[in-house]
Chains A and B, each alone.
Chain A
Amino acid sequence: MHRPELVTKLYEAAVRKVPSSEEYHSHLFMAYARVGEYKKMQQAGMTLYKIVPKNPYYFWSVMSLVMQAISAQDKKLSQTMFLPLAERMVEKMVKEEKIEAEAEVQLYYMILERLGKYVEALEVVRGQLGEKLTSELQSRENKCMSLYKQLERWPECNALSCKLLLKNPDDWQFYMSYFDSLFHLIDQGWEPPSEGEHCSEGEVRSSVAQAIAFVEERLAVEEAKETRPLRGPFLARLELIRRLRARGCPEEQELGEPLELMFQYFIKFGDKPCCISDLKIYLDLLTTDHHVQFINRLMETVPLSEPQDDGVALPGDTRALQRHLCVAQLSRALGLHHALDTTGKLDLIRQLKSHYRHGLQFGKSCLKTELQFSDMYCLLASHVYIDLWAETGDETMLWQCLGLLEEGLSHSSSNAQFKLLLILLFCRMGAFEPVVDLYSSLDAKHVQHDTIGFLLTRYAESLGQFAAASQSCNFSLRFFHSNQKDTSEYIIQAYKYGAFEKIPEFIAFRSRLNRSLHFAQVRTERMLLDLFLEADLSSSLEDNVKSMGLCPEEDDIPWTDMRDNRDLTVLTSWDPADRQLSEEQRSFSLQEELLWLKVRFLTLRLVGTLAVLSHPPTPRNAEKAAENGVVAKPDILRPLLDQLNTTLQNGAQFLERGVQYPFLGPSPTRLAHALASGSCHCQVLAFQLAAYVQELDAAALEETTEVQTQISNSFKSLLIQLKEILNKCKGDLLEVKEGQCKTQPTLLENLVFFVETVCVVHWVSCFCAGVLRPLKASLQKRKKKKKEPISATMVVFSGFQEFTAGLQSLFSEVLDHIKGQETSLTALKLGELTLEEVMPAGEEAFVKLAMDKLRSSYLRSLQELGDLLKKRADVLKSLKI
Chain B
Amino acid sequence: MLGSKMTTLRAFTCDDLFKFNNINLDPLTETYGIPFYLQYLAHWPEYFIVAEAPGGELMGYIMGKAEGSVAREEWHGHVTALSVAPEFRRLGLAAKLMELLEEISERKGGFFVDLFVRVSNQVAVNMYKQLGYSVYRTVIEYYSASNGEPDEDAYDMRKALSRDTEKKSIIPLPHPVRPEDIE
A451–B19 alpha-carbon span in the complex (Å): 8
Tell me whether B21 and A570 are in contact (CB under 8 A).
yes
A703–B124 alpha-carbon span in the complex (Å): 83
- Our pick among A137, A272, A490, A565 for the contact of B38 (Cβ within 8 Å) is A490
| B-contact bits for A269-287, CB 8 A (1 contact / 0 none) | 1001110111011000000
Known A-B contacts A274-B53, A499-B43; the reply to A232 vs B6 at CB < 8 A is yes
| B-contact bits for A220-233, CB 8 A (1 contact / 0 none) | 00000001111110
Q: Which residues of B contact A501 (CB under 8 A)?
A: 45
Q: Is B22 located at the chain interface by the 8 A CB criterion? A: yes
A276–B59 alpha-carbon span in the complex (Å): 14
Chain B, residue nearest A494 (CB): B42
Q: Which residues of B contact A482 (CB under 8 A)?
A: 33-34
A452–B43 alpha-carbon span in the complex (Å): 28
Q: Is B91 located at the chain interface by the 8 A CB criterion? A: yes
Q: Which residues of A contact B148 (CB under 8 A)?
A: none
B54 to A: closest C-beta gap in Å: 5
Tell me whether A447 and B43 are in contact (CB under 8 A).
no
Q: Which residues of B contact A505 (CB under 8 A)?
A: 13-14, 41
Tell me whether A137 and B6 are in contact (CB under 8 A).
no
Q: Is A369 located at the chain interface by the 8 A CB criterion? A: yes
Tell me whether A227 and B19 are in contact (CB under 8 A).
no
Q: Is A153 located at the chain interface by the 8 A CB criterion? A: no
Q: Is A187 located at the chain interface by the 8 A CB criterion? A: no
A443–B27 alpha-carbon span in the complex (Å): 8
B105 to A: closest C-beta gap in Å: 11
Q: Which of A46-54, A165-173, A401-409, A862-870 has 4 or more CB atoms under 8 Å from chain B?
A: A165-173
Chain B, residue nearest A441 (CB): B27
Tell me whether B27 and A509 are in contact (CB under 8 A).
no
Q: Is B9 located at the chain interface by the 8 A CB criterion? A: yes
Tell me whether B34 and A483 are in contact (CB under 8 A).
yes
Q: Is A396 located at the chain interface by the 8 A CB criterion? A: no
Tell me whether B3 and A369 are in contact (CB under 8 A).
no
Tell me whether B21 and A567 are in contact (CB under 8 A).
yes
Q: Which residues of A contact B91 (CB under 8 A)?
A: 272, 274
B85 to A: closest C-beta gap in Å: 9
- Our pick among A137, A272, A483, A493 for the contact of B103 (Cβ within 8 Å) is A137
Chain B, residue nearest A136 (CB): B46
A493–B14 alpha-carbon span in the complex (Å): 15
Band of interface residues on A: 35 or more
Chain A, residue nearest B35 (CB): A486
Q: Which residues of B contact A280 (CB under 8 A)?
A: 55
Tell me whether B6 and A230 are in contact (CB under 8 A).
yes
Taking CB atoms and an 8 Å cut-off, the chain A residues in 461-513 that contact chain B are 482-483, 486-487, 489-490, 493-494, 496-497, 499, 501-502, 505-506, 508-509, 512
Known A-B contacts A136-B46, A170-B7; the reply to A274 vs B88 at CB < 8 A is yes
Chain B, residue nearest A369 (CB): B27
Chain A, residue nearest B96 (CB): A170
Q: Which residues of A contact B28 (CB under 8 A)?
A: 369
Tell me whether A570 and B22 are in contact (CB under 8 A).
yes
Q: Is A151 located at the chain interface by the 8 A CB criterion? A: no
Chain A, residue nearest B37 (CB): A447
Tell me whether A508 and B54 are in contact (CB under 8 A).
no
Known A-B contacts A170-B5, A414-B27, A497-B42; the reply to A371 vs B86 at CB < 8 A is yes
Tell me whether B21 and A448 are in contact (CB under 8 A).
yes
Q: Which residues of A contact B107 (CB under 8 A)?
A: 134-135
Q: Is B31 located at the chain interface by the 8 A CB criterion? A: yes
Q: Which residues of B contact A278 (CB under 8 A)?
A: 6, 54
Q: Is B26 located at the chain interface by the 8 A CB criterion? A: yes
Chain A, residue nearest B41 (CB): A502
Most buried by A among B57, B87, B88: B87
| B-contact bits for A225-266, CB 8 A (1 contact / 0 none) | 001111110010001000000000000000000000000000
A490–B26 alpha-carbon span in the complex (Å): 27
Tell me whether A274 and B46 are in contact (CB under 8 A).
no
- Our pick among B13, B31, B100, B123 for the contact of A444 (Cβ within 8 Å) is B31
Tell me whether B104 and A137 are in contact (CB under 8 A).
yes
B20 to A: closest C-beta gap in Å: 9
Tell me whether B7 and A509 are in contact (CB under 8 A).
no
Q: Is A445 located at the chain interface by the 8 A CB criterion? A: yes
Q: Which residues of A contact B120 (CB under 8 A)?
A: 367
A171–B104 alpha-carbon span in the complex (Å): 18
Tell me whether B18 and A567 are in contact (CB under 8 A).
yes
Decide if the interface of chain B is mainly helix, strand, loop or mixed: mixed
Tell me whether A493 and B55 are in contact (CB under 8 A).
no
B45 to A: closest C-beta gap in Å: 5
Tell me whether B42 and A490 are in contact (CB under 8 A).
yes
Tell me whether B46 and A135 are in contact (CB under 8 A).
yes
Tell me whether B42 and A448 are in contact (CB under 8 A).
no
Tell me whether B25 and A416 are in contact (CB under 8 A).
yes
A280–B55 alpha-carbon span in the complex (Å): 9
Q: Which residues of B contact A451 (CB under 8 A)?
A: 18, 21
Taking CB atoms and an 8 Å cut-off, the chain A residues in 159-181 that contact chain B are 168, 170-173
Q: Is A446 located at the chain interface by the 8 A CB criterion? A: yes
Tell me whether B31 and A446 are in contact (CB under 8 A).
yes
A277–B10 alpha-carbon span in the complex (Å): 20
- Our pick among B8, B54, B86, B100 for the contact of A281 (Cβ within 8 Å) is B54
Q: Is B1 located at the chain interface by the 8 A CB criterion? A: yes
B12 to A: closest C-beta gap in Å: 11
| B-contact bits for A10-31, CB 8 A (1 contact / 0 none) | 0000000000000000000000
A565–B41 alpha-carbon span in the complex (Å): 21
Q: Is A433 located at the chain interface by the 8 A CB criterion? A: no
Known A-B contacts A170-B5, A172-B8, A228-B1; the reply to A490 vs B100 at CB < 8 A is no
Q: Is A156 located at the chain interface by the 8 A CB criterion? A: no
Known A-B contacts A229-B4, A281-B54, A508-B14; the reply to A446 vs B25 at CB < 8 A is no
Tell me whether B39 and A506 are in contact (CB under 8 A).
no
Known A-B contacts A135-B104, A486-B34; the reply to A502 vs B1 at CB < 8 A is no
Q: Which residues of A contact B3 (CB under 8 A)?
A: 168, 170, 230
B143 to A: closest C-beta gap in Å: 13
B126 to A: closest C-beta gap in Å: 13
Tell me whether A497 and B43 are in contact (CB under 8 A).
yes
Q: Is B11 located at the chain interface by the 8 A CB criterion? A: yes
- Our pick among A170, A235, A493, A565 for the contact of B42 (Cβ within 8 Å) is A493
Q: Is A450 located at the chain interface by the 8 A CB criterion? A: yes
B34 to A: closest C-beta gap in Å: 5
Q: Which residues of A contact B24 (CB under 8 A)?
A: 448
Q: Which residues of B contact A172 (CB under 8 A)?
A: 6-8, 52-54
A272–B88 alpha-carbon span in the complex (Å): 8
Known A-B contacts A446-B32, A451-B21, A452-B21; the reply to A506 vs B38 at CB < 8 A is yes
Known A-B contacts A171-B9, A446-B31; the reply to A567 vs B19 at CB < 8 A is yes
* 13 A-B interface contacts by CB (under 8 A): A137-B9, A142-B10, A170-B6, A172-B54, A227-B1, A272-B90, A277-B55, A446-B33, A451-B21, A490-B42, A502-B42, A505-B41, A570-B21
Excluding A277-B87, A278-B54, A512-B15, 10 further A-B contacts by CB distance (< 8 Å) are A136-B11, A136-B46, A142-B10, A239-B54, A272-B91, A369-B26, A444-B31, A446-B33, A509-B17, A565-B18
4 closest Cβ contacts across the A-B interface? A490-B38, A509-B14, A416-B25, A231-B6
B residues neighboring A (CB under 8 Å): 1, 3-11, 13-15, 17-19, 21-22, 24-28, 31-35, 38-39, 41-43, 45-46, 49, 52-55, 57, 59, 86-91, 100, 103-104, 107-108, 120-123
